[in-house]
Structure 1
Amino acid sequence: MSQCQLAEDPEPSEPVPAGPLFVPVRPGPVGCTARFFRTPLGGRTAVGFTTERQLVATLGTGQDWIRLSEPALRALATPLGVTALTVDPQLAARAPSSAPDWDAQADAARLNLLIG
């Protein structure tokens, strides 16, 4: 019988510091404010990126950022009720490019079909 070798846990039960992060910010009343986002299930999360390149690829070139350690970001987020931290999120919804075209004639035709 062979012995199993213990490997590093891919999902540790204790959070491990991620090191210095690129944290997206927005203008605030006295400087800048960390941006918080929503998870796919609707929960609030702080977000940090390990490289500027990943931040730009996800949020665009116009996104301002600051460098913060993972504990500092958690210290900012926790008093606001944000306890989740997402590092290097892979997906982000883009803002709609424009409002959908409204076609009054097509809407009138659909309404006519519904009410006869």
Structure 2
Amino acid sequence: TKIFVVHGEEQSAEHFARHLIKEFGYSAYAPHWGEIIDLDTMHSEYASYGQAVEDRFVPVDKQIESLTSTINILMEKYSKAKKENRLSSIKRLQDDINDAKEMLSMIIDEL
């Protein structure tokens, strides 16, 4: 069973779909505007009036570049703090990193 979240703004629908996955274990998906999904095959394509494929990926490409940059900054700051022995809350840092990894795993599973 798969739940399609099709109400509201795209970002809200995606957030709600992630909530359904995380909180209830449902298989949920928020289709993009103009996306057509064949329910028999689950194959997805975009209507001709939808956004061009190349244009759709530009924001995601930029977000992934930004995320990569943020991870590099985190690694640099962590190395510096570790070297200076000024990590006051290792447990909190571990919890925050595990939360981020869990969110990224959910995103990866959706791909």
Which entry has the higher C-alpha Rg, 1 or 2? 1
Settle same-fold status: TM greater than 0.5.
Answer: no
The structure with more strand, counted as a fraction of residues: 1
Which structure carries more relative contact order (alpha carbon 8 Å, separation 6+)? 1
Shorter-chain TM-score: what band?
Answer: under 0.3
TM-score (norm 2): 0.25
The structure with more helix, counted as a fraction of residues: 2
